[in-house]
Each structure stands twice: as C-alpha cells, then as structure tokens.
Amino acid sequence: MKVSYLWLCEVVNITGVSPDELAERLTRGGLTVDGVAPRVKGVSGVVVGEVVACEQHPNADRLRVCQVNVGQDELLTIVCGAPNVSAGQKVPVAVVGANLPGGKIGKAKLRGIESQGMLCSASEIGLEVKLLPKEQTEGLYILPSDTIVGADVADLLQLNDVVLDIDLTPNRSDCLSIRGLAYEIAALYGRPIRFEPPKRAVTGEGSPVHIEIATDLCSRYDAQVLSGLNDVASPLWMQMRLLTMGVRPINATVDITNYVMLEWGQPLHAFDFDEVRQETIVVRQAHNGEKLVTLDGEERSLTQDMIVISDPDRAIGLAGVMGGENTEVTQKTNRVVLESAAFDAPSVRRTGQRLGLRSEAQQRFEKGIDVVAVRAALNRATELYQQICGASIVGDVASTARTEEPAAESRMVAFSPSRCRELLGAEIADETMQDVFSRLGFHISTSNFSGSDREWDVAVPTRRPDITREADLVEEIARLVGYDEIPSTLPEGATTTGTRTLRQKIHQTTRHILLGAGMTEVFTYSFTHPSQLDRMRLPEDAEYRRMIPIAMPLSDERTVMRTHMLPSLAQIGEYNLSHGNLGGQVFELARVYRPKSLPLTEQPIEETMWAGLWFGEYPVQLGQRPRAFDFYDAKGSIEVWLSAFGLGHRAAFRKTNVPYLHPGRSAEVVVDDIRIGQVGEIYPETAEEMGVAGAVYAEFHLDAIESLLNLRYHVQPLPRFPASLRDLAVVVDQNVAVGDLLYAAKEELSSGTESLLESCNVFDVYRGKGIPESHQSVAFSFIYRATDRTLTDEEVSHLESRVLARWQREFAAVLRS
C-alpha cells in the first residue's frame, strides 16, 4: 500500500520524524515498509504562470510566442510548442534556473526568439501520467483558474511529498486507511492524533430512500440522498493525494468517495437516485443467471451466493465490488444516493474472484471493515459533497441493520499482566502495559484493576478486528515496548523429541533411495488438461478420464486436477530433449486426484505416488558406448527401492497389459498378491506423440505399501554354517516369463516349517543352437543355508527336486542336459 507522508503529517503529530525514520519505526513495530521514495525527485523553481498573450511564431508553424505573468515585475517571453496553449490559461512555468526531472532550465533561442523559461506538461513536472485523464496529458498541464499566480508548483501539487510503500499483513486491515495508520503512528511515538470524526446535525426530516436488507450477509446499510451536485473537478489537493496513493482522479463525485475510502477505510458508492426505481434499495442475494452490466461495461452473469444491491425490479450493483451501469452518476445526474454499508467479507472475496474483478473497495471489504466507521465515513463524504460540489442534503440518513441493537464501539478482551510477562519472558511493569494500551486507544476497565495477579478487562475498539484474545494483546505489548527490549531466554519445561509418521518415513526413504540411484527429482503442476490423456490410448470410459474441474483455472492448459502422472513427466522429458539434453532419469513424488462422484459432493481420493521416467540416452561412460535407457535401467532402480524397504525378496514382476505401455515390455509389481505399481516401455505411438520416443515409465502407489511394512530395523545373526550353492538350467517355452519362474521357486521353497533358501538369481538366458525352436534356456543360481547345521547333499537335492517338479507342472520346464 502506497501512503502519503504529508497526509500522515496532517493527521498525527510527527514533527521531527523524517520519512526514513518513520519507515524504520513502522517496520520495527510490525508494519514492514518496503520502500521510501520521493513522489517527484528534483523539482524546484517551477511556479504558477498566467499566459497573458499568445501569438504565432514568425519563423515556425508549430511554435507560439507567449507573454507569461509569473508574479514578477515584468512578463516573461516563452516560446512554446504545446498544441493546447492559449491566452488566459494558468500553467506550470519553469523559469530560468529551475530544476526538472529531465534537467535544468536555461535561456534558449528558438528560431530567432529568446525563450525565458518553459511552459510545462504533466510529465515534465513528474506527475503520474498513467493515472491522469487523456486531456491532461496531451500538451500543457492546465491549472484551475483560481490558482494564485507565482505560487510554488511543488507545494501546490505536493510534488515534495514522500511515498511510503507499506507491506501489510492480512490481519492488519485497519492500516488500509490513513485513519488506521494515524492511530498506529500515534501509538508508536506516543504523539497526539489529529483525526476527529465529522459531526452532522440531524434535520429531523425523513429520508426519501427506503432500505430493505433481505440477506444475512449484510449487517448494516446506511444511505444519504443529496441533490444539486455540480459537475466539477475535484480540488488540486484532493487530486494530488489520490495520485500519491495510486488512485486515478476522475471527477468530484467519484473522487470524494475514493478519498473518504482512503481516509477512513470505508468504501462508499454513489447511485443516480432518479434511476433507482420506486426510490427503494434492496440488499439481497442474486438470482442464478441474473445479469448485470457493471461500470466497466461488461455484462456479468450472477449466481445465488453473490450479494447485490437492487431496486424492486433489477440489480443495480455488486455489493462491495462494483456498481451497475444502469445507475451510474453522469453529468445529467441531479440527485444521488450515497451508500455506506457492511458486507460479509468472504462473500465479497468470492464474488470478486469468480467474476475476475479486483477493486480497492473489494480489498477492504474482504479483509474486514470497522462497522463504527460506516456512519462516520458517510458523514465525512456528505461534508465534502457540500463543500466541493455545492450539494444539498435531502432528509436524514436512512439506516437499516440486521439487529435492532446498536453496533458496539469496542469489545472486551481479558488480559493478565502476569501471564503476559510469562509469555514474553520479560519483566514489564504494569504501568508500562497501561501506557501501551492508552497509546493504542484501548481502555482498561477499573473493576478488575488491582494487583498484578488479577485480570484486566481491555476494551478494544472495532477498528482493530485483529485483536480478539489475550495473545493478541500480548503481541501489542511486545510490538510497542520493542522486540529488541525483550531478552533472549532458553525455553523451559518438558520437551518432546519430534519423529516422523510411517507415511513420512516412506516418502523420505523413497526420495533418498531414488536420488541415490542416480535419478533427479522434479516438481510439476497438479493441474492439467483432459486432452493430455488422449495420447495415452485410453478408452473413452476409462476411470482416468473422470477429472475434477478447477473453478478458476490458471490458464486454458490447466483446467482439471490430474489423475495420472505420465503426461506431467513426459513434458519434462520433451522439454529436456528439445533443449539439447541427450537424456535423463527423473522422478516425482506427488498426488493424483480421483473423484468419487462428479460434480463433487464429497472429498475426492488423493493418492500419493512416485512416478519415474527414463528417456533419451544413458550418459557416456569410460569404456561404454552411448545407449538408450531401457526397461532394465528402470527395473534396477525399482529393485533398489524395494530392497530398501525389505520387499525385494517378496516382490514379483508379472506381465501386464496397459494401453499406454508396450505389451511385451511392461510388468506389474506385486508384493504378497498386492499390486503396488507397474513399469514398462511407453507404447511407441504414445511416446512419439509425447516427444519421448523409447522412454520407460514407472509408477508406484506409496499408500499401498504402508500395510506391507513398518520400517523397523530387522536384524539376524551372522551365518555360522557354510552355504550350499547349486545351479539349475531348464528349457521352457520362450513366452514363459523368467520372473514367473523365480517367483514360483521362491514360493515353493518358502513354504514349510523351515525356509532354507537364502537367494535365487538368474544368470543366463540363451536361445539358439542346441535349444528347440521357440524355446529358451534359463539358468538359475540357488544358495541354500541352515542356521543350525550344515546341509547334506540329500537335503539340497530334495529341494532341487521340489523346484523342478513345480516348474514342470506349471511351465512344462525340462532340465537342460
């Protein structure tokens, strides 16, 4: 938020405090000031001048020779090329020796005529051109006719102001106004505040406007009818303050509402009262599909959860967001009704987000306003309309609230001084705490105000909605006493050593193992587009196609929550390959989102997975030729991961048939008959369309393996007896998966009261001479060991015969001679 230093000086006494010192004190008090900068740098010697005469330059078609009165004894001759210069105007004049943002002004001779200065445009004196109307930026900057000749333009236009850029936290909505900042600065420095609420005499006449509140999302609505408004420009001082705060001046009718909003933090809106039918305003919920053309000229389609301001026939404004074009104040407007209200903050925020609107008023409503300021801001605006626009008050304020009880001006919060000292770890005297609350404008009830061990009742004004409990008051004590005054102390009391849950340990171990296997972790969006699944050859009724739509998507490419991680990782692979990276192996640990029903009626299933992609070529190493990543690179990383969890000997790789994976080069991974994932080469057509030809993809359900392990350490004694090593080679049909042979052998030898198999591995697969056509020879290495004895040949032979018998029954395997 940008704030005018000169405006602050008017409402709180900060004599002797420079802008930089104020910024430092605000920052130490919890309101971070990101920057302090002069509004316009280096403007001096620029005064108000009156163009007395203006004649054509004898030697130039586009130049004028002007005689200008700047309050000196003699008129100045100034040559000007601005298209809008004419006699009788009052404009900024940079006399000889003046400094402008563009440089210093000296005497100059233009086409034979000496020019004694320069008539200035808005940009030449440093005004914010982007916030000015077009007519004020093309040519000279024309000043009001009643401006005093010879006055210093830097003072007149507040060019010597300093702008503080304050980064407010969401809880400090009170500081979105000059009033709130004034109270904050007064508390920090212990200075008096000069912010008096406006007072208005009650006329006793009824208001011509009738107010109805037909929604629980509006707690109060005040309205004042005014007539006889003159269509005039707002005074320079008001325009300059608006520009300094980053608000575009338009005309007095609009500028006054913006000015009061910045001053009080209470948004206001003016409707053309003659366009409000039946002189009745109704605050209600919108009808589904109801249309409203807002002040920006856009037709909006409304929904039932939006609050609208309406007359008996139609909507005339979006509550807290933007008014309607049908009641816009124009030059023909004779009567206006001025609105000041309190709307539900979450509803205003949702309305603005859904319609893509963002305004200064919405920003204040969605963070919470001070209900006490509703009437005060309305009175202040009425006062300014009378002074600037010559408006007349028509009747008293029409006010309606959801409750007949008047809004309380403060809330009581219990506070214990001793508890405050305990929480802060500092010995702060009761008198110091009393002084802090007094500077903040908080009042302490005297009923419980005796002794440091008793609680105080602190009355907190409604302008501080962030203070609702004792801890908030303790924070205020710390802020104003100064965090640097609180000594550093070690924590006391019992402490508990933190630990991770089983799920967290699984995630952490997975990340460490895959990184150790040479993979690179990536992070991608959880948002995608339904068309990304078209390349995966999925059927139209596939469960993956049931995707959760995003209410407000970031872009047209990310409109739904992803149900599969392959498209996200494929985009990583394609990007790397197209930017000169020859290949890589990446993984992501993230979630996919699967709805139980659409549209959503309950929380969707959020499944945590890790997915990997091996694409392109394996890095060249000494003694090795370049080669593409293949299925076994992925399988190796997966086996390392499974072994880290103690699941390597329990896992089996079985053939699978997945539309987006190659049917002969893919497998599902099963542990104890529970499917935990799959791995395989991406189907050629899919891989080609995704830009990762020949890539291998794997995905595993981390939630599924929770029930399979507990991550406790498993220990066993070192072997005391020698192992028996045996090799077996069998001939089987070439369509038999080697993994199925391994799984069957392990399952056969693990049954019974004692498992003597220590390990079983494949060391050779051969097809060719000596092997029947369409068959293959597979050789296995078995290691047997007992924990209490040395195995005999008979025992080992019996184990071998069991394995061979199982293979013969299930796979028609024959022992190779």
Considering the domain architecture, whether residues 597 and 610 belong to the same structural domain is answered as yes
Per-residue pLDDT at 200: 74
Residue 490 is assigned to a structural domain of this protein: no
CA–CA separation, 178 and 10 (whole Å): 10
pLDDT over 90 at 612, yes or no: yes
CATH number at residue 598: 3.30.930.10
- The per-residue pLDDT for range 658-693, each reduced to its tens digit, is 999 998 889 999 998 899 999 999 999 999 999 999
pLDDT over 70 at 753, yes or no: no
Considering the domain architecture, whether residues 96 and 169 belong to the same structural domain is answered as no
Considering the domain architecture, whether residues 697 and 621 belong to the same structural domain is answered as yes
Per-residue pLDDT at 494: 79
Per-residue pLDDT at 278: 93
Per-residue pLDDT at 445: 81
pLDDT over 80 at 453, yes or no: no
In order, the DSSP letters of 290-331 are: -EEEBTTS-EEE--TTSEEEE-SSSEEEETTTEEBGGG---T
Residue 204 is assigned to a structural domain of this protein: no
Per-residue pLDDT at 512: 96
Considering the domain architecture, whether residues 299 and 253 belong to the same structural domain is answered as yes
Helix axes 470-481, 430-440, angle to 10 degrees: 100
CATH number at residue 424: 3.30.56.10
CATH number at residue 84: 2.40.50.140
Question: Residue 785, CB half-sphere, CA atoms under 13 Å: how many?
Answer: 11
Query: Quick one: which of 124, 114, 108, 112 has its CA closest to 46?
Result: 124
Tokens for 7, please give them: 């405006």
Considering the domain architecture, whether residues 451 and 534 belong to the same structural domain is answered as no
Question: Residue 788, CB half-sphere, CA atoms under 13 Å: how many?
Answer: 2
pLDDT over 70 at 545, yes or no: yes
- Helix H or strand E segment including 23: helix 19-28
Residue 196 is assigned to a structural domain of this protein: no
pLDDT-derived band at 448 (thresholds 50, 70, 90) equals low
Mean pLDDT of the chain, nearest integer: 90
pLDDT-derived band at 649 (thresholds 50, 70, 90) equals confident
Between strands 280-285 and 210-213, the pairing is parallel
Last residue of a domain, one of 382, 401, 420: 401
Q: What is the mean pLDDT of residues 540-564?
A: 91
Residue 609 CA: distances (Å) to CA of 586, 654, 659, 703: 14, 20, 20, 7
Q: What is the mean pLDDT of residues 494-519?
A: 90
Considering the domain architecture, whether residues 231 and 342 belong to the same structural domain is answered as yes
What is the percent of the chain where pLDDT is above 90?
A: 65
Q: Which of 75-79, 397-401, 753-757 has the lowest mean pLDDT?
A: 753-757
Other CB atoms within 10 Å distance of the CB of residue 390: 12
3-class state of residue 428 by DSSP: coil
Q: What is the mean pLDDT of residues 652-661?
A: 90
Considering the domain architecture, whether residues 48 and 32 belong to the same structural domain is answered as no
CATH number at residue 383: 3.50.40.10
pLDDT over 80 at 63, yes or no: yes
CA–CA separation, 26 and 175 (whole Å): 11
pLDDT over 80 at 492, yes or no: no
Range of the domain at 142: 44-156
Q: Is the Cβ–Cβ distance between 665 and 632 less than 8 Å?
A: no
CA–CA separation, 218 and 344 (whole Å): 6
Per-residue pLDDT at 566: 96
Per-residue pLDDT at 752: 66
Per-residue pLDDT at 710: 67
pLDDT over 70 at 444, yes or no: yes
Structural domain total, the chain: 6
Residue 200 is assigned to a structural domain of this protein: no
Residue 719 is assigned to a structural domain of this protein: no
CA–CA separation, 665 and 656 (whole Å): 9
Q: What is the mean pLDDT of residues 722-726?
A: 93
CA–CA separation, 582 and 746 (whole Å): 40
Last residue of a domain, one of 427, 456, 484: 484
pLDDT over 70 at 405, yes or no: no
Binding-site residue positions = 466, 472, 475-476
CATH number at residue 802: 3.30.70.380
- The per-residue pLDDT for range 209-218, each reduced to its tens digit, is 999 999 999 9
DSSP state of 525: -
Considering the domain architecture, whether residues 134 and 51 belong to the same structural domain is answered as yes
CA–CA separation, 147 and 406 (whole Å): 46
Residue 174 is assigned to a structural domain of this protein: yes
Binding-site residue positions for Mg(2+) = 466, 472, 475-476
Residue 278 is assigned to a structural domain of this protein: yes
Residue 495 is assigned to a structural domain of this protein: no
Considering the domain architecture, whether residues 655 and 745 belong to the same structural domain is answered as no
- The per-residue pLDDT for range 358-403, each reduced to its tens digit, is 888 888 998 888 888 999 999 999 999 999 999 999 999 999 988 7
Considering the domain architecture, whether residues 600 and 680 belong to the same structural domain is answered as yes
- 3-class SS letters over 544-608: HHCCCECCCCCECCECEECCCCHHHHHHHHHHHHHCCCCEEEEEEEEEEEECCCCCCCCCCEEEE
Considering the domain architecture, whether residues 236 and 253 belong to the same structural domain is answered as yes
Q: Is the dihedral of CA 278, 284, 288, 291 positive or negative?
A: positive
Considering the domain architecture, whether residues 385 and 238 belong to the same structural domain is answered as yes
